Structure 1
Amino acid sequence: MPRLAAYTTFALVAALAGSRLGLWPPALATATSQEAPPGAQVPAGQLPTYRAGVDLVRVDAYVVDRDGRPVPGLKTTDFQVTVDGKPRRVVTADFVKLAGGRSAPGESGSPAAGAIPGRRYVLVVDQHNIQPGGLKVAASAARTFLRQLGPDDQVALVVVPAGGSVSLTSDHERVARALENLHGSGEVLRSEVFAHVSVSEALRLESVGSDACDPGGRIPAALATILERNGCLAATMPEDERSSCCRQIVGEIRQEVTSIQQATSQSLMALESLLRALRGVEGRKTIILFSQRLVTGGGGSLDRRNDLGAVGRLAGPANANLYVLHLSRGMFDGIDASVRQEAALPFGDETAGREGLEVIAGAAGGAIFSVVAGADFAFERIARETSAYYLLGLEPVADDRDGKPHQIRVRTVLSGATVRARTEFLIPKVDVAPAGQGPVAEATAKAPERTAKAAAPAPAKVAEPPTPAAAAPAAPTATVPAPKTATALPPFERTDVLRPEVTAHFVKRLEASAGDPSPAMKEAIEAARKGRFDALLEGLAASPDDAAARVLWGMALLTRGDLENAGAEFRAALAIDSELSPAQFYLGAWHAAQGNDGEAVRAWQAVVATEFDQPAVFEVLIDALLRVGQVGRAGALVEEARSQWRDDRMTPRAAAVAVASGDLRGALDLLAPYVEKHPGDVRTLALAMRAIAHAHTNGGTVFDGATDKERVTRYAQLYEKAGGPDKAAVAGWVAAVK
């Protein structure tokens, strides 16, 4: 299915440590860590520790009783796991308790010892697939649920495919207020001229052509029923009028089927975008989806089951579990009679609407609740089920690392218990090359991040390079500087966030947030849009109550290099409006400009989901992650960005990840066609030369001596022609290779 390029309208703030499924490096533990005993509870704020030298496949599993309460005390032998139908040994089983919220009746009011504080919920409202009035009862129950959460619990509200969303916050009342303003926007499938045509009827007739209405044509039984219902088959009606009546109904059915398919496609693309973005938010998340229907298409050319399943399976890599609240037809008993009459759908429509929701919930290893009279029971159940889960570590086999999806099934021998877990996992493939040359990895640079303590085969990483004098004695050390390491990246440059296309994007965001701006503010916005920041400072007085004006001031000061005052303006803007993404973005730039990449990462992580359509956000965040050594997370973001933008703009970042992973040849293979197309990109040329020099200063080659020499010489010439600034470093890299 097509991926969404610019859709998600929410911001999620990463806060706690977490890990997505994949190879689980034992070096999470300290050097003296021992294997946790089976069934152990995890101490507050810690991940389980494991015996050094063992890579495990991680699976999160919720095990609940008939009432939805987590079942504690299970051991590894209490679980039965199969991968691709073959039994797999469970090495570890840790019971992770999450504190937060009020206790259910009959339970203790205080969190258990060892509970990790706080849970994360993402409420997703599928607005295009909910009829007007359909959210009223469910939203009321959601507000009750929110008011029962504890102070450490965080909640986000996401409206898909687009709308007023609230970022991850502990201000539960804010989310509750936002829910009050939401209404379903989906339309009941009905003819505007004729009697009601249901979803299920229309889908059965999607392939019927208007030639069925020709005199003497064969009319399908389902169409004949609709025609008869609308008087098109009356014996007294002339043949030409009967044919015209039939064609009009067929035309309207086609329009309605197209409408319902578009609503499904938009929701699927938005959900896909959301789940992919959630990969960048650490920690366990619980997604609660409100929807009346996601239509599978009923078979034939409209069948969307594969697409629905594919989106559902993204919950696994996002470290999220999914609950679906199916807003059943009974929900409309509590709304206006006029809406209820329109919503009186036949049972076939109820089934058609629920079927797609079942597919997506099943693929995610989640659950679906049909909400008829009220939704309180569903939220109470969700709160109980998400209060604890098991962190399972499975014994790995070589085939796990083949880069292909593997079917997994988790069960328990405990009678009466239900297990909710993902149904599929995938570990990116890593090819290991001979030492000295670095591994030749996949071009997408999807190798999982590893640590030095992992004993399983990993990308070979070489030590810090010696100086050029040590590597090539003939090189004069007085004039030829030592090459930088292959993983070194140049520091952040303010120009990365002050390019016209980047400032124009965020100025547009500020304009939208300004409401009814003053004449001075309008002039300032126009000046900023044109990049005339000096004029902006002259014409706009700083306003302590105007967040947008504060950001504009900060951008102008950042342009001048006045970092101290620029940072003060961005912080002041966020104090007024904590959700203002331009303020978050440029505060991250302020941190990075001062060399504080860790704080920059935190700021940009909060922006990347909101600004999913802005490649510059991905670029600066990927660079910062690489500078702080978080290669795995940088690689995951590169993968997400390349799925959004199909051109080559992310190629240099993919190559940088490959270099940082030790895959020098893979990096150079990526860069060769890019450099031919962009010979003036001096940063990318520097990356390529640095990678080649790194191999030679460590006594190896990337390809072979002649090829390496030819490439570094050509790249140096292109660098000089493009006016690259760091000529001394280039001279060192060339000398190291020659």
Structure 2
Amino acid sequence: MRPAVVALALVLSGWALSAQSPAPVPSGAQQPTFRADVALVTTDAIPRDQDGRFVPDLSKDDFIVREDGVDQRIDAFVLVHGGRTFNLLAPPQAAPEGIVLPTSRRPVDTGGSGRVIIIFIDDLHFEVDYTPHVRRLVQQIVDNLLHEGDLVAMVSSGPSAIEIEPTADHRLIAAAATRIRGSGPSPAEIFRMLESSSGPGDIRFRAQVAFQTMYSMVGSLDQVRNRRKAVIYVSPGYDLDPFAEGRKGKDRIMGGRFGDPMKALIDEENPYFRLSGVRADADLFLLMQELTLTANRANASLFTIDPRGLAGVVDTGQYVDQSEFRTFLQKSTSSLRFLAEETGGIAVVNDNDFAAALKRIDAETSDYYVLGYTSSNPDPRRRVRQLEVTTKRPGVTVAARRSYSLKTPGTPPRPPAPPRTKKK
């Protein structure tokens, strides 16, 4: 992690804390006390009718929230509709003895508070040829997604060195697009990489850097309340063991890695060079799982966008078999689908109409309810908890996150140094 990225996360966290500061108590009034041992769990819920339209007239009694199959009592209920926030039910407060607090609140319109949006450019993974596409995509994000009142931050994972602190000036986001430059390896470059126990070249290290950047950024959103939190995740996805058969000399184009007959023999006899293939999918799942747990804990949704658009074939000059390339596409896009679906977001993959996709994301993040409850399960050993949000109204379906996790001490480990390679 670069120090500037860490500073950006701290700025966003500091803004979040200041944004939710309580209103001053009038002189002579006694400040009620709060229970420190109870944490309010919040989740965004988007109910839609059979025609796909948002349903704005539901009450808290219309919703059913279950944690691990157990019904929960809704203590906080906020509606955001048409850019305006309505606090329909405040969470209960524990008052000192002798003080009686009101049991309910009148609906209060707090005005258009906007959304909190983080734009993540994973330039460590998309190839340099896709640079113009990603630059146009960022401009489309500014034109079709961002609105007045939205607080937007932007960060890149690699050499583009983009680190824009949370700002309401969206012109800074558009101006930063000119600095974007992809540095992801092409299939031909992957074939030329030296192998190690961690796989080809620095493939695994690049993924660890990208995920570590997102851990810090998404984790800083944990303190933001009553705002829709969205992460626009621009990346072609991940595969920690790409083109495995071709690299082992079994592809049908080049007869192996540049026709080297010794490569297959080395791979078969030396398990050191097969270890990466055994661990690749499991290690990638752990990276993605920790990020989705962090996002769900912060009640933030990941909206993943593949800048490759609709892709199906690759130039034969890349030295990779077409069927193996399709497998690579399937694995990388599946990683993007996992990140989005596990956090209640949308995966824009195999799609060239980015403008329409961004308008859909805008609709998903503009109209929603925020439901809050105090978990009935106090056991801290139950870290990951399943959520289910439904409604009693017939014909209405609800899109919401499916799980959340309790916060544990410490942070995800820093990525290790790039692996040392060994010639064969």
User: What TM-score, normalized to structure 2?
Assistant: 0.65
Q: Go from structure 1 to structure 2 and tell me whether the alpha carbon gap of 1:291 and 1:190 turns closer, same or farther (over 3 Å shift).
A: same
One-letter identity of the residue aligned with 1:150: H
| Aligned equivalent of 1:349 | 328
Q: Go from structure 1 to structure 2 and tell me whether the alpha carbon gap of 1:427 and 1:340 turns closer, same or farther (over 3 Å shift).
A: same
Deviations 1:661-702 (A, max 9, x none): xxxxxxxxxxxxxxxxxxxxxxxxxxxxxxxxxxxxxxxxxx
CA distance in 1, matches of 2:327, 2:117: 32
| Aligned equivalent of 2:215 | 272
Question: Is 2:112–2:149's contact at 8 Å kept on the other side of the alignment?
Answer: no
Question: Is 1:98–1:115's contact at 8 Å kept on the other side of the alignment?
Answer: no
- Residue in structure 2 matching 1:411, options 378, 386, 389: 389
Tell me, which stretches of 5 or more residues in structure 2 are unaligned? 27-33, 85-107, 243-276, 415-424
Residues 1:293 and 2:276 aligned together: no
| Aligned equivalent of 1:317 | 297
Question: Is 2:194–2:200's contact at 8 Å kept on the other side of the alignment?
Answer: no
CA distance in 2, matches of 1:293, 1:150: 28
CA distance in 2, matches of 1:124, 1:5: 15
One-letter identity of the residue aligned with 1:122: I
One-letter identity of the residue aligned with 2:71: P
Based on CA coordinates, which of the two structures has the bigger radius of gyration?
1
Question: Is 1:68–1:381's contact at 8 Å kept on the other side of the alignment?
Answer: no
- Give the number of the structure with larger relative contact order, counting CA–CA contacts within 8 Å between residues 6 or more apart: 2
Q: Go from structure 1 to structure 2 and tell me whether the alpha carbon gap of 1:295 and 1:62 turns closer, same or farther (over 3 Å shift).
A: farther
| Aligned equivalent of 2:419 | none
Question: Is 1:138–1:375's contact at 8 Å kept on the other side of the alignment?
Answer: no
**CA positional deviation for 1:420:** 2.4
SS in 1 for 2:297: coil
CA distance in 1, matches of 2:61, 2:24: 24
Q: Go from structure 1 to structure 2 and tell me whether the alpha carbon gap of 1:127 and 1:10 turns closer, same or farther (over 3 Å shift).
A: farther
**CA positional deviation for 1:9:** 5.9
Question: Is 1:74–1:93's contact at 8 Å kept on the other side of the alignment?
Answer: no
When you count helix as a share of all residues, which structure comes out higher? 1
SS in 2 for 1:168: strand
Seq. identity, %? 19
Question: Is 1:296–1:352's contact at 8 Å kept on the other side of the alignment?
Answer: no
| Aligned equivalent of 1:169 | 167
One-letter identity of the residue aligned with 1:312: T
Deviations 1:327-352 (A, max 9, x none): 3452699xxx9899789872211111
When you count strand as a share of all residues, which structure comes out higher? 2
Between the two proteins, the alignment pairs up a number of residues equal to: 336
Question: Is 1:189–1:256's contact at 8 Å kept on the other side of the alignment?
Answer: no
Question: Is 2:343–2:402's contact at 8 Å kept on the other side of the alignment?
Answer: yes
Residues 1:76 and 2:60 aligned together: yes
Question: Is 2:133–2:307's contact at 8 Å kept on the other side of the alignment?
Answer: no
- Counterparts of residues 187-266 of structure 1 (less than 5 Å): 187-190=185-188, 257-266=200-209
Residues 1:8 and 2:10 aligned together: no
SS in 2 for 1:400: coil
CA distance in 2, matches of 1:253, 1:272: 26
| Aligned equivalent of 1:57 | 40
One-letter identity of the residue aligned with 1:351: Q
| Aligned equivalent of 2:361 | 382
SS in 2 for 1:390: strand
SS in 1 for 2:378: helix
Q: Go from structure 1 to structure 2 and tell me whether the alpha carbon gap of 1:5 and 1:63 turns closer, same or farther (over 3 Å shift).
A: same
SS in 2 for 1:377: helix
- Residue in structure 2 matching 1:133, options 129, 154, 171: 129
Q: Go from structure 1 to structure 2 and tell me whether the alpha carbon gap of 1:165 and 1:371 turns closer, same or farther (over 3 Å shift).
A: farther
Tell me, which stretches of 5 or more residues in structure 1 are unaligned? 20-26, 32-50, 101-111, 198-248, 429-443, 445-638, 645-738
SS in 1 for 2:338: helix
Q: Larger deviation: 127-136 or 357-366?
A: 357-366
SS in 2 for 1:133: helix
CA distance in 2, matches of 1:423, 1:28: 32
CA-based RMSD of the aligned residues comes to 4.3
Residues 1:99 and 2:86 aligned together: no
SS in 2 for 1:366: coil
| Aligned equivalent of 1:622 | none
Q: Go from structure 1 to structure 2 and tell me whether the alpha carbon gap of 1:341 and 1:401 turns closer, same or farther (over 3 Å shift).
A: same
**CA positional deviation for 1:384:** 0.9
Question: Is 2:294–2:405's contact at 8 Å kept on the other side of the alignment?
Answer: no
**CA positional deviation for 1:69:** 5.3
**CA positional deviation for 1:157:** 1.2
**CA positional deviation for 1:135:** 4.5
CA distance in 1, matches of 2:155, 2:138: 14
